Amino acid sequence: MTTQTIEQIEKIDKSRYRLNLWRTIALVLLVGGVLAQGIFPENGFVSYIYGIGAILTCVVNGAFIALMAKIRREPQLNEALNNEMFQLYTLKSALCGYYAMVASGLILGALTWVEIVPIPAKICCLGILFCGAVAQAIALLVYDRSR
Amino acid sequence: MGQNELTNTLKVQRAIRDITQEELAAAVGVTRKTINTIENGIYTPSTALALKLARFFEVSVEEIFQLAG
């Protein structure tokens, strides 16, 4: 492998991490905004959060898809960047997301069951999905951080 | 693939041959980050990767990886 390819791999690895960070921020804004709209439907400010999240999601995910396509196109990049460790981290972060969903489902379900806090079903569902998705995204960032 | 199951002499092997983490990573088809996490005992490589590393250094797998404790 040439020096240029080695440098390219490291550069793309860092780019992928940065894009995942921005995807996490966009996810929090987007889903958080939707959740906030459900809880505070009269509040106009939450619409801005949702709007910023939506735009950021489109832009960042577009860049991420383009980067992943570039990685998959070149066998050397694909072998190095989608190596066994990254695949393991992807699986472990998905597991984190799953457990977060279960935990948030139990908590929200318990709160609704004993009627401590009246939570609409839509908010419950969005809340569970939000916890799962954000937990997965943050877990991947933690596992894949620069060392 | 758990943590801290193995100790390794990867850093020593690299030092003997004067190879950077990037060069080793490129040679076995992973990233520098992967080599770093293996060296620091954070990640335990698969059998295939361990064999690739041993083949690269022209030593046996046991000379690079040992069971901890």
Q: Is A31 a residue whose pLDDT tops 70?
A: yes
Residue B21 sits in a domain of what CATH number? 1.10.260.40
Residue A24: the pLDDT is 95
User: How far is the C-alpha of A90 from the C-alpha of A7, rounded, in Å?
Assistant: 23
Residue among A29, A101, A15 at smallest CA distance from A58: A29
pLDDT per position in chain B (69 positions), as tens? 445 678 999 999 999 999 999 999 999 999 999 999 999 999 999 999 999 999 999 999 999 999 987
Residue B37's pLDDT is: 93
**Who among B27, B31, B43 is closest to A13 (CB)?**
B31
pTM, 2 dp? 0.86
pLDDT tens digit sequence for A48-88 = 888 899 999 999 999 999 999 999 998 888 989 999 999 99
A91 vs B: CB within 8 A: no
Q: How many other β-carbons are positioned within 10 Å of the β-carbon of residue B42?
A: 13
**Residue A87 forms contact with B (CB below 8 Å):** no
Ranges A35-49, A73-87, A126-140: which has the least confidence: A35-49
Q: How far does the CA of residue A6 sit from the closest CA of chain B (Å)?
A: 6
| Contact flag A85-B40 (C-beta cutoff 8 Å) | no
Q: Which of B10, B20, B21, B34 to mutate to test the interface with A (most CBs of A within 10 A)?
A: B34
pLDDT digits (tens, 9 = 90+) for A87-123: 999 999 999 999 999 999 999 888 888 877 778 888 8
Number of CB atoms found within 10 A of residue B49's CB? 21
Q: Do B30 and A80 touch (CB under 8 A)?
A: yes
Residue B1 lies in a domain: no
Is the pLDDT at A139 greater than 90? The verdict is: yes
The number of domains in chain B is 1
Q: Is the minimum CB–CB distance between B23 and chain A shorter than 8 Å?
A: yes
**B41 is a domain residue:** yes
At A35, the pLDDT band (50, 70, 90 cuts) reads confident
CB atoms < 10 A from the CB of A119, how many? 16
Distance CA B41, CA B38 (A): 5
Distance CA A31, CA A53 (A): 8
Return the pLDDT at A66.
Answer: 96
Judged by CB atoms closer than 8 Å, whether chains meet at A83 and B34 is answered as yes
Instruction: Determine, yes or no, domain membership for B46.
Output: yes
Q: Which residues from B are below 8 Å from A11, CB to CB?
A: none
- The per-residue pLDDT for A118 is 77
